[in-house]
Structure 1
Amino acid sequence: MKRRLLLAALPAPFLLSACAGPEVREYAQERPQLDLRQYFNGPLVGHGVFTDRSGRVKARFVVRMVGRWQGEQGVLEEDFEYSDGRKERRVWRLTHQGDGRYSGRADDVVGEAQGQAAGNALRWGYTLKLPVDGKVYEVQFDDWMWLVDERVMLNKARMSKFGFDLGEVTLSFTRQ
């Protein structure tokens, strides 16, 4: 009986590790090195889509950004224009905390966003107040960014509520 239980339990760690996602430290040796203070300093433009959990594109958008840093404090102004004509604005107040760690606040973010950079990657987590059909929902973002070269960064963010996947945002940023 003990042998059967042991054999049945053996695959469990392998199954659990298969569900685990990547860690930002896995990108520590990747180049170019990402420093948000450098990349998000000046004008940028981003092009993106939101896909629902079935993979259907539900929204397309362009975001124009301007970042400014003074020492460890930064402001990132984002102006979104969606394919349906809607416009949104978000202003991030960012802090570099040292050792690749960043925090941020914005008016539509609940509490404080937390991020960790290593190598060419940043993992950014936060809760966003998302307006939908006259209601506001608090949704969680697991946001990954990878610096491709000095001008281009790719961004993929998973959006969830109560642990259930709602969809994904995919973006490409280009420094101007």
Structure 2
Amino acid sequence: MKALRPTLLAGLTALAALGSTVLSGCAGSQVQDYTAERPLLDLRQYFNGDLVAHGMFTDRFGTIRRRFTVQMKAHWQGDSGVLEEDFLYSDGEKERRVWTLQRKADGGYVGRAADVVGEAEGRAAGPVLRWQYTLSLPVGGSHYQVAFDDWMVLMDEHTLLNRATMSKWGVRLGEVTLAFHKP
């Protein structure tokens, strides 16, 4: 029995360490984790002028449900910006969203659009921006409030990748993946 105690103690210690690792893994990435990485993402610089994005929506099972292209025009005056988005879906449907954006004194961002519930909030560090908001999505004759958690990553001066997780009541509905290109 004495010989088993060190082994049992080592096993319990390893189990506790594994549990700690698993629990800390649940916390996920934080924007500040990317502070030292480059290039730096400045929304006022990247989202300025004409841009185009190509994207798709995949459901929670990984099935591609919709593809789309977004033509954008953006401009800033100081810390205030406007981003006009014109969506064209693969089924021919069109949609328009106009964001008003504001850079806050602490370096964060807030945004508003007609179909956004309240304000979108974002924080950038290094090449990464985390943008969170609730969107009122029309489905049939109803509107559903869906939470979006966007992670944007500036790859170079022309390319920005975006992965947005959509959820309702904490249940993951799917993902929107976008590739932005700035000429």
TM-score range, shorter chain: over 0.9
SS in 2 for 1:79: strand
Q: CA deviation at 1:14?
A: 2.5
SS in 1 for 2:123: strand
C-alpha distance in 1, partners of 2:72/2:168? Answer: 27
- Does the Cα contact within 8 Å between 1:100 and 1:118 map onto a contact in 2? no
Counterpart among 77, 97, 102 of residue 95 in structure 1: 102
Counterpart of 2:79?
72
Q: CA deviation at 1:58?
A: 0.2
Once the two structures are superposed, the pairs formed by residues 147-166 of structure 1 within 5 Å of their partners are 147-166=154-173
Q: CA deviation at 1:45?
A: 0.1
Partner amino acid, structure 1, of 2:70 = V
Q: CA deviation at 1:31?
A: 1.0
SS in 2 for 1:29: coil
Residue 123 (structure 1) aligned with residue 130 (structure 2):
yes
- Does the Cα contact within 8 Å between 1:77 and 1:89 map onto a contact in 2? yes
Counterpart among 30, 34, 46 of residue 23 in structure 1: 30
Q: How many residues align?
A: 172
- Does the Cα contact within 8 Å between 1:109 and 1:126 map onto a contact in 2? yes
Counterpart of 1:85?
92
Partner amino acid, structure 1, of 2:29 = P
Counterpart among 52, 55, 74 of residue 45 in structure 1: 52
Residue 169 (structure 1) aligned with residue 176 (structure 2):
yes
C-alpha distance in 1, partners of 2:88/2:28? Answer: 31
Counterpart among 61, 66, 72 of residue 59 in structure 1: 66
Which of the two has higher C-alpha Rg? 2
Moved more, 94-103 or 115-124: 94-103
Partner amino acid, structure 2, of 1:106 = A
Counterpart of 2:153?
146
C-alpha distance in 2, partners of 1:64/1:49? Answer: 15
Any stretches of 5+ residues in structure 1 without a counterpart?
none
C-alpha distance in 1, partners of 2:127/2:107? Answer: 11
CA RMSD of aligned residues (A): 1.6
Residue 34 (structure 1) aligned with residue 41 (structure 2):
yes
SS in 1 for 2:32: helix
Any stretches of 5+ residues in structure 2 without a counterpart?
1-7
